[in-house]
């Protein structure tokens, strides 16, 4: 039996879609069966993270009762399944997000993880996406506004019986005054699943002709490594340790940098 987890934030623009795309791609890379669904039906953009903006059938068609959820599934990297939402306003107008829970019911029998990329805020659309999952991962950026909004979102989740699973701190820059993982854990009263650094490689995803999440495109980038670590923690898989450089390589590196300075 798989887990149905929605990705929630409270504040907009903190990286929910980025986290949904990368976490699901990372878990697929670890061999898990994963589906990621764009439950942000009004401001859909998960499709853009995978180059699926021209997908002929989307979650909107499913929510209108004009297609089955399986018709709106597209295969991404490492067997990851993506369910995009349509980007046009016209498509959105006739959609009923209240049906979300109904159309996704039973998916956890076929997948290890069902991720829902939720809209920001705590309005009806967000609540529909939240309530369609049984657990929630909260995304915050290391600032007071985002954390305050996430606390409201967490309370709203609990009110509809959704279990807060953990929080991911995104776009961490390490500047003085930024709340630490411990601070976030204490303020939100929730386990921190990990921190993801601010990384230009993430931002580049939406600038590429053929986009794909950093965990696929640039596995050696700092953000990709952080996402892989979080995914491993979620899946309970031990991450391979970086091979230690041998003594000679270390000595050579030190000497090189010393001589360069002179």
202 binds, among Mg ion, ligand ATP, none (CB under 5 to 8 A by kind): ligand ATP
- Residue number, 69 or 120, with CB nearest to Mg ion: 120
Nearest distance from C-beta of residue 246 to ligand ATP, angstroms: 33
Characterize 11-43 residue by residue with b for buried, 16 or more Cβ atoms within 10 angstroms of its Cβ, and e for exposed: beebbbbbbbbbbbbbbbbbebebbbbbbbbee
**Choices 14-22, 138-146, 148-156, 202-210; region in contact with Mg ion by CB under 5 A:** 14-22
Q: What is the 3-state secondary structure (H, E, C) of 17-44?
A: HHHHHHHHHHHHHCCCCEEEEECCCCCC
Q: What residues make contact with ligand ATP under the rule CB under 6 A?
A: 9, 12-18, 40, 43, 120, 170-171, 196, 198-199, 202-203, 205-206, 223
Hey, CA dihedral for 249, 255, 261, 262, is it positive or negative? negative
- Both tokens assigned to 135: 């657990």
Total residues contacting Mg ion (rule CB under 5 A)?
2
Token pair 């940098």 is found at 257
Pairing of strands 113-117, 81-83: unpaired
Q: Which residue is closest to Mg ion by CB?
A: 17
14 binds, among ligand ATP, Mg ion, none (CB under 5 to 8 A by kind): ligand ATP
Q: What is the DSSP code string of 210-251?
A: S---HHHH-TTSHHHHHHHHHHHHHHTPPPPPPPPPPHHHHH
Nearest distance from C-beta of residue 33 to ligand ATP, angstroms: 23
- Residue number, 156 or 170, with CB nearest to Mg ion: 170
Instruction: Work out whether 9 is an interface residue with Mg ion (CB under 5 A).
Output: no
- Residue number, 117 or 199, with CB nearest to Mg ion: 117
3-state helix vs strand vs coil in the chain, percent to 5: 45, 15, 40
Instruction: Work out whether 16 is an interface residue with Mg ion (CB under 5 A).
Output: yes
Nearest distance from C-beta of residue 105 to ligand ATP, angstroms: 24
Nearest distance from C-beta of residue 7 to Mg ion, angstroms: 8
Instruction: Work out whether 85 is an interface residue with Mg ion (CB under 5 A).
Output: no
- Residue number, 142 or 164, with CB nearest to ligand ATP: 142
Give residue 187's region: left, alpha or beta (phi > 0; psi -120 to 50). alpha
Residues that bind Mg ion (CB under 5 A): 16-17
């Amino acid at each position: 039996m798989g887990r149905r987890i929605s990705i929630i934030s409270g504040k907009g623009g903190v990286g929910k879609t980025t986290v949904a795309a990368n976490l699901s791609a990372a878990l697929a890379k670890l061999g898990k069966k994963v589906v990621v669904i764009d439950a942000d039906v009004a401001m859909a953009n998960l499709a853009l993270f995978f180059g699926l903006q021209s997908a002929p059938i989307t979650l909107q068609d499913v929510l209108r009762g004009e297609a089955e959820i399986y018709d709106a599934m597209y295969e991404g990297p490492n067997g990851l399944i993506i369910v995009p939402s349509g980007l046009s306003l016209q498509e959105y107008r006739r959609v009923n997000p209240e049906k979300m829970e109904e159309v996704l019911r039973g998916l956890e029998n076929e997948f290890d993880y069902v991720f829902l990329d939720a809209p920001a805020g705590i309005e009806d659309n967000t609540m529909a996406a939240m309530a369609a999952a049984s657990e929630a991962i909260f995304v915050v950026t290391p600032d007071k506004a985002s954390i305050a909004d996430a606390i409201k979102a967490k309370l709203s989740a609990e009110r509809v019986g959704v279990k807060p699973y953990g929080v991911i701190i995104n776009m961490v820059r390490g500047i003085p005054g930024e709340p630490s993982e411990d601070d976030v854990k204490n303020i939100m009263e929730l386990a921190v699943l990990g921190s993801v650094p601010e990384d230009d490689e993430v931002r580049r995803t939406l600038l590429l002709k053929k986009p794909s999440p950093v965990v696929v495109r640039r596995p050696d980038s700092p953000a990709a490594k952080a996402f892989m670590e979080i995914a491993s923690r979620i899946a309970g898989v031990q991450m391979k340790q970086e091979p230690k450089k041998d003594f000679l390589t270390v000595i050579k590196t030190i000497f090189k940098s010393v001589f360069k300075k002179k």
